[in-house]
Amino acid sequence: MVLITVTSWMGCGDSRPAGTAGNDSSLVGGPCVNNIDCDERLCEIANQFPDGVCTISCGESGHCPQGSSCAELTSGWVCLVNCVNTAECRTGYACQPVTEAGTDGGSTVTVCIGSSRPS
């Protein structure tokens, strides 16, 4: 008699957190005033984040929820909403290329970030 055990792991081989990023998401991308407004308790508030943005600290894009990428900013590495054009971003945000975190400057990602961000 042979006993075969099958174990199913949700997200096996995928380190992305559950959930989806978006302009109204309290996980990544939605507006916030303080950390309690966000699922992962991280609300970035600065000139580059008008009306605040819920986010997650990350080490690479694979650590960000579906629909977002890990951006390397002067304030740290955070997940931001992916975009193709500014019309997909919240008011006050623009679709801009930034350095993808964990790539030593070798790759960029296009994400929604405050249109008044310093260059």
pLDDT for 116: 61
Domain residues of the chain, as ranges? 35-114
pTM over 0.85: no
pLDDT mean over 108-113 = 96
Residue 15: pLDDT band (50, 70, 90) is: low
pLDDT tens digits, residue range 47-56? Answer: 789 999 999 9
Q: Is 97 helix (H, G, I), strand (E, B) or coil?
A: strand
pLDDT tens digits, residue range 71-103? Answer: 999 889 999 999 999 999 999 999 999 999 988
Spatial CA neighbour of 81 closest among 19, 36, 35 = 19
Spatial CA neighbour of 110 closest among 45, 76, 89 = 89
pLDDT mean over 13-28 = 81
Structure-model confidence comparison of residues 5 and 85, the more confident one:
85
In whole angstroms, what is the distance from residue 34 CA to residue 119 CA? 25
pLDDT for 22: 93
